[in-house]
Structure 1
Amino acid sequence: MQSMGIVTGRRNARPPKQRRAGGPPEGDAYDEVVQEIRAGRLDADAGAERLIERLTDAELLGLLDGDSPRRLLPLIPVLLHRRPFVAGAVPRLGIPGIRFSDGARGVVIGESTAFPVTMARAATWDPVLEEQVGEAIGAETRIRGANYSASVCVNLLRHPAWGRAQECYGEDPVLTGRMGSAMTRGVRVHTMACVKHFALNSMEDERFEVDVSVDDHALHEVYLPHFKAVIDAGADSVMSAYNRVRGEYMDVNRPLLTDVLREEWGFTGFVTSDWVFGTHAAVGSLEAGMDVEMPLRLRRAHELPAALRAGTLHHATVLRSARRILRTTLLHAATRTEPQPSADVVAGSAHRALARHVAEESIVLLANRPVDDGVPLLPLSATTRRIAVVGRLADRANLGDHGSSRVRPPTTVSPLQGLREALPDTQITSTPAGNVRAAVAAAAAADTAIVVVGFDQHDEGESVVTGGVDVGVLGAALDSGRLRSAITGVAHLASRFVRGGDRTSLRLRPSDERLILAVAAANPRTVVVLIGGSAILTEAWRDRVPALVLAWYGGMEGGRALADVLTGVVEPGGRLPFVIPTDPAHLPPFDREAKAVVYDDRWGQRRLDEEGHTPAFPFGFGLGYTTIDHRLLGHRFDDTGGTAEVLVTNTGRREGSTVVQLYAADTAPERPVAQLLGFRKVTLQAGEERVVRVVLDPTPTLERDPVTRRWSARAGDWALQAAQHSPSTWASAVPLRTGDSDLDDDPARLPDTAG
């Protein structure tokens, strides 16, 4: 019985190899090797070989899939939140195996700190803060008995209707790469970090079957650079996606798993499958470079032993994956320096405070117009005595998707509760959800009305396989009998708790839009607070309300953070990690039922730029409670990257923050397409000015030769511009590539420590 408590005995094995007389107990073998590596007497490769020499064939094959028996398939939704899922444990030698926990917004096991969703954290544009979140998630993962966290999701937001948009960092490769790298560094302080879903996964309802066609330019220069950035940041593992790319399912996609990931990028860690439906060929996936089938003993347990005996699976192929798995786990165990965290840090005061701070920094103020006194509506005036807080999400613990990323914190704070705590002397009224007449009456009697609307787990989230699941994705050998019944059973069970999937509309629910219009008509001092995981179209009503706030799924402290922003205790620190268009037709087509799609290099802000559409709110946009100016002073840049210096001045009357954003574009076309190269978040006191140095990523200005795999400068008249969001004009841009440096190396200038 494995220590996770749900794993029974593994495959029949030949007798274990005997240890030397007088040697250490077999159960200490793994720890002994870890100590040898830590002391510098062995490297991780030699340590892996030492363990492999002592494994039986059955134990060796056992490294390559989950340890839990297939009969537990219907219980995955329950067990995922109770204990780690283990793969490749060998108790005889003390090998702990890969002990998996999900964790995009917190640890899914037990009660844990619920941070704002990944998209909200992307809106902070603050890698330093994201690294802190990663370390907190890693610590809580370790406390729950796991050593492997699938918390780094860097799939690009190609379309905001994607159900799991909330789990990614937005539409831009550079922002995604910087934030994902920061999360990776933080998580690895305590556990191994897994990046997912490799590659081109950005739709839910047909994620098991969709085939993505993509040319070399878009693939290597748009959809993969952020994955490479995370690999370079030290990711220990990669999770392969469900979908197909160029006709091949990702678990058998050798061109990506081996040719690119390992040979071109030099990745030395291990690859796991996405769960249950992510392995389509036991031998073929191993040969292609997918090392571990997760999370159960399914295809590989059924097929690999016979294939090894028959010679259709080479022993060397098994050893290759075994070495990757053991080398990676040994190296992480040997180099981890932080002691075991105390259990009381889980949802403790420090992590709660961090969750609140991150939520504050994520909130995006989209509109803030004066009403009748020439003063913007937000922050709320100290003279406000009566506030109506209405909307179906005003008093709900709405943390986001209820799929594999669901976190169960011990407590949550709703927007209504947060405002009542922050304004104890203010009369705050609320009305039953759905009662528009009562909401209008309350708004009419209030000084200010706050409407809290948006989405929840029923509108968007992880796609759940329904009772009509096509288990054919598992192959003919597993498409019948008890396993089929089990798969259908787990689908039925999961669908009782999770609906989710891709969104059917980019607009709010009709009832929410009607409520906004009715309340705004009753009270001109109306604030709309949007809850959701990506872009929400506002054209039907945004000109009727003076103040508009995007508060995301804000985590367990989200209500207090929202109150802090609305009352002006803190600035709204967020900036959009995607564009919000005025018309869904300005975005790429999105078919929730598509079996085949084509991904090109134009989506989001890039597509709007190329086609000349003005967005409702551009990529990188966000307002504050002060005014801040940017001026590019100088930069150096070549094909290896560079830096820029920007003078930032707070011209307002209170402390505030801004995100210095550096964009490049080929200005030769009539409509230049902006490419983010670098960014830096900075806070300034009223009247303060500062010079900040920002690291510039050259990748968006380069192209890859598909034959030589070498990168070189893309042709064009490239220019650089500092801005506070994606620019609509390039009149103040300067030539991008420089000769001699025009930077001042004065050490008093603020370096970029956030990128």
Structure 2
Amino acid sequence: MNMTAGRRAALTREQASSETMTMESSAYGEAVRAVRTGEISADEAANQLIDRMTEGEVLGLLDGDSSRWVLPFIPALLDRRPFVAGAVSRLGIPGIRFSDGGRGVVIGASTAFPVTIARAATWDPSLEERVGIAIGLETRARGANYSASVCVNLLRHPAWGRAQECYGEDPVLTGRMGSALTRGVRLHVMACVKHFALNSMENERFEVDVAVDEHALHEVYLPHFKAVVDAGADSVMSSYNRVRGEYMDVNRALLTDVLRREWGFSGFVTSDWVFGTHDAVASLEAGMDVEMPLRLLRARELPAALRNGVLARATVLQSARRVLRTCVEHSANRELAAPTRAVIASPAHRALAHQVAAESIVMLKNETVGAAPLLPLAPTIQHLAVIGRLAAQGNLGDHGSSRVRPPSTVSPLQGLREALPGVLISTTTGRDERRAAAMAAAAEMAIVVVGLDQHDEGESVVTGGVDVGVIGRTFGSGPLRQVLIGLAHLASRFVRGGDRSSLNLRPSDERLIQAVVAANPRTVVVLVSGSAILTEAWRDRVPALLLAWYGGMEGGRALASVLTGSEEPGGRLPFVLPTDAAHLPFFDSAAKSVVYDAQWGQRRLDGEGHRPAYPFGFGLSYTTLEHRLIDHTLDSSGGNANVHVTNKGHRKGSTVVQVYAADVSLRRPVAQLLGFRKVTLQPGAETTVRVVLDAGPTLQRDSTTRRWSPRSGVWALQASQHSPDSWENAVRLRRTEGLIDQEGTSDVKPA
């Protein structure tokens, strides 16, 4: 049976496997060996490989290897195999072997870690790096060499459906945590950071145009991307949205002028999937190297554009070289032998998932009821009521592209039953509020588990705003196009996930809380979510309140360990919890255009004088820790702060030392996080910790020279356990020849 050379090449590329081919005897394997031994550079290796490739093979590096007819099956295939781009089996080139992995590897039954925003709540980059190492190991064990696990889009508004996939609202926290994950992941596979840039709404992500000024762009929405690039990210994924009128795949100003020329990024850029490429030639010229994950626009248009001179061969070779150089460099820097599948959901990775979940839990309230705080649970407790529709669920988060399917999941109810084997635990979903109240009244304590799930928030997998013309010319115009668009719009009304319509709990959950706490004042409320939940309607009546996130496969056990006191609630808020949604930026999930400014989150509340329900960085402990700023150094390149920490309580505990700066000449100073460090102390112990400071939030960028200099104003520094609400005892900073130095320890009062 005969087949065309193009079809044969496509099949060959689809069937290639980097882990099964004999790399040592291939051209690619020889190139990797030569780079590893220092005989040639990765650039030279890429050039040598390109010299041996046909024109079709070179162009094949610039898009995915799967046919467009795979499109309807992408969700089903994502959890079964890596998606391959640019494989050339004739030369042993494995290509990019993609897996998603923000909370664990999406292929097969893998370890499900807490979602990214939960890990942000640990405020512990060293712990996040360990998560990255585990994800990298499991990614490679599943046959992939490339993980799109690093999402550092800023949480501009908590209604964003994919808030759970980011590290919260602060650029410094996001940059530090994203960099740590990157360092861990790339020990085993290539690390991709996404979605570049200004992607923080879901329902209209394919169409929305983001307007942003130079200050907000470079000083708010891009610093964390640069931090991850500096940490060694191998690849960047461009976002679906427009920025300043241009789709990101053709946005030369950001992909080339900023990312490559200003920041020095040398890796490769891929599109977001399927509908993230709008022009085959213009996107390549703008700096977007690979159309993922199918053979769509570029497969149809690049060969003719190259033959006709519309596309310069140098442009093709530039992107091809970036892809090959990065792949060769990665292969040369790791051992050839892949880990066995024994690492997947191994005891060590389960233990890590448990640790992260426990350290992510934020205790917001813990009032004294009777003779002692309500938590941890008294060891003498005999009867506990566990109530709520999420109590018996293994709730891992949304069901979009980051979904992980672990071999097992522990619910809060199961975790408590394991931790309290001798205790009578009554349970109900709470659908019948009277029954729930009666059950709570009959118990010594009640724990209400409520919040969100994949129906309330997450990735909007189906949306009506896509350009179906990328699938093929048949869908570019005419009746088929209209039918497909119509079906997409119709389906988008019924799919789960997407942006949230409210920051409140479901009304039924709020009624349940009120009914239970009225029946039993010894009530603990546990919130499960991927972002902020407003609590004003009921929090004053509740003595104990925890934010437990989507806690991963071990989340139920971790929650039980915190409730019983065998572990510390180690989390701190990675965003502000306001008292009113009106205190946040306006959010329209159907917006076709939006303005992103520098007023969001805690900074917006500070600037407008609104007190939050719980400030950014807030979280309680089971002990009392105090800290005091001793001294610091800070100039335009960064610095350090020495902070003395003391555990005044009677049990081991942790805190996050947070160092903030603000221009105190303003009537309402706006706190800017410069650095942080988590510290754990035994009872009565004290220590001095050094906190690395990022000067970025105190600097401004000149759009003409692209140079950074200190902002004007009277700046002060303060060590705190959350975003400060007063600057009266801050340490003044002064500026000398572009440096920011300590002036003294005198009090600073706002002008």
Q: TM-score of the superposition, structure 1-length normalised? A: 0.93
2:124 is aligned with 1:126: yes
1:448-463 alignment, distance < 5 Å: 448-463=445-460
Q: Give the SS at the match of 1:692.
A: strand
CA displacement 1:351-408 (0-9 Å, x = unmatched) = 00000000000000000001222x1100011121110000000000110010000000
CA displacement 1:236-258 (0-9 Å, x = unmatched) = 00000000000000000000000
Farther off after superposition, 330-339 or 423-432: 330-339
Q: Which of 649, 653, 663 is the matching residue for 2:650? A: 653
2:215 is aligned with 1:225: no
**Gapped regions of structure 1 (runs ≥ 5):** 1-6, 14-23, 744-755
2:540 is aligned with 1:543: yes
Matches of 1:370 and 1:41 in 2, distance apart?
Answer: 69
Q: Which of 336, 354, 357 is the matching residue for 1:356? A: 354
1:634-645 alignment, distance < 5 Å: 634-645=631-642
Query: Which letter does structure 2 place at the counterpart of 1:518?
Result: A
1:688-707 alignment, distance < 5 Å: 688-707=685-704
2:532 is aligned with 1:532: no
Farther off after superposition, 153-162 or 434-443: 434-443
Q: Which of 431, 434, 439 is the matching residue for 1:437? A: 434
> Are the equivalent residues in 2 in contact too, given 1:464–1:494 (CA < 8 A)?
no
Matches of 1:400 and 1:264 in 2, distance apart?
Answer: 37
> Are the equivalent residues in 1 in contact too, given 2:206–2:465 (CA < 8 A)?
no
Q: Structure 1 residue 431: deviation in Å? A: 1.3
Change in 2 beyond 3 A, CA 1:444/1:75: same
1:533-682 alignment, distance < 5 Å: 533-682=530-679
Matches of 1:525 and 1:447 in 2, distance apart?
Answer: 7
Matches of 2:11 and 2:564 in 1, distance apart?
Answer: 65
Q: Give the SS at the match of 1:101.
A: strand
Matches of 1:631 and 1:672 in 2, distance apart?
Answer: 21
Q: Structure 1 residue 736: deviation in Å? A: 2.9
Q: Structure 1 residue 441: deviation in Å? A: 1.2
Q: Which of 457, 462, 465 is the matching residue for 1:465? A: 462
Q: Give the SS at the match of 1:86.
A: strand
Q: Give the SS at the match of 1:130.
A: helix
Q: Which of 405, 410, 415 is the matching residue for 1:408? A: 405
Change in 2 beyond 3 A, CA 1:25/1:660: closer
> Are the equivalent residues in 2 in contact too, given 1:630–1:649 (CA < 8 A)?
yes
> Are the equivalent residues in 1 in contact too, given 2:504–2:533 (CA < 8 A)?
yes
Question: 2:15 corresponds to which residue?
Answer: none
Change in 2 beyond 3 A, CA 1:512/1:665: same
Q: Structure 1 residue 534: deviation in Å? A: 0.7
Q: Structure 1 residue 432: deviation in Å? A: 3.7
Q: Structure 1 residue 436: deviation in Å? A: 1.5
Q: Give the SS at the match of 1:72.
A: helix
> Are the equivalent residues in 1 in contact too, given 2:387–2:448 (CA < 8 A)?
yes
CA displacement 1:477-533 (0-9 Å, x = unmatched) = 742589859977996999799510000000000000000000000000000000000
Matches of 1:199 and 1:490 in 2, distance apart?
Answer: 29
Question: 1:116 corresponds to which residue?
Answer: 114
Q: Structure 1 residue 343: deviation in Å? A: 1.1
> Are the equivalent residues in 2 in contact too, given 1:402–1:498 (CA < 8 A)?
no
CA displacement 1:77-100 (0-9 Å, x = unmatched) = 100111000000001100000000
Q: Give the SS at the match of 1:569.
A: coil
Matches of 1:212 and 1:467 in 2, distance apart?
Answer: 19
Q: Structure 1 residue 12: deviation in Å? A: 11
Matches of 1:530 and 1:326 in 2, distance apart?
Answer: 46
Question: 2:301 corresponds to which residue?
Answer: 303
**Percent sequence identity over aligned pairs:** 73
Matches of 2:651 and 2:247 in 1, distance apart?
Answer: 54
Q: Give the SS at the match of 2:58.
A: helix
Q: Structure 1 residue 66: deviation in Å? A: 0.2
Q: Which of 44, 47, 50 is the matching residue for 1:49? A: 47
Farther off after superposition, 426-435 or 82-91: 426-435
> Are the equivalent residues in 2 in contact too, given 1:8–1:69 (CA < 8 A)?
no
Matches of 2:552 and 2:300 in 1, distance apart?
Answer: 41
2:322 is aligned with 1:324: yes
Q: Give the SS at the match of 1:676.
A: strand
Change in 2 beyond 3 A, CA 1:649/1:337: farther
Pairwise CA RMSD of aligned residues? 2.3
Change in 2 beyond 3 A, CA 1:730/1:687: same
Question: 2:75 corresponds to which residue?
Answer: 77
Query: Which letter does structure 1 place at the counterpart of 2:448?
Result: V
Query: Which letter does structure 1 place at the counterpart of 2:227?
Result: A
**Gapped regions of structure 2 (runs ≥ 5):** 1-5, 13-21, 744-751
Question: 2:334 corresponds to which residue?
Answer: 336
Question: 1:381 corresponds to which residue?
Answer: 378
Question: 2:718 corresponds to which residue?
Answer: 721
> Are the equivalent residues in 1 in contact too, given 2:24–2:30 (CA < 8 A)?
no
Matches of 1:39 and 1:481 in 2, distance apart?
Answer: 57
Q: Structure 1 residue 10: deviation in Å? A: 3.7
Matches of 1:278 and 1:83 in 2, distance apart?
Answer: 22
Q: Structure 1 residue 140: deviation in Å? A: 0.3
Question: 1:747 corresponds to which residue?
Answer: none
2:140 is aligned with 1:142: yes
Q: Structure 1 residue 471: deviation in Å? A: 2.8
Matches of 1:205 and 1:726 in 2, distance apart?
Answer: 31
Q: Structure 1 residue 464: deviation in Å? A: 2.2
Query: Which letter does structure 1 place at the counterpart of 2:220?
Result: V
Change in 2 beyond 3 A, CA 1:343/1:362: same
Question: 1:753 corresponds to which residue?
Answer: none
Matches of 2:483 and 2:311 in 1, distance apart?
Answer: 29
Question: 1:239 corresponds to which residue?
Answer: 237
> Are the equivalent residues in 2 in contact too, given 1:147–1:191 (CA < 8 A)?
yes
CA displacement 1:183-241 (0-9 Å, x = unmatched) = 00000010000000000000000000000000000000110000000000000000000
Q: Structure 1 residue 474: deviation in Å? A: 7.1
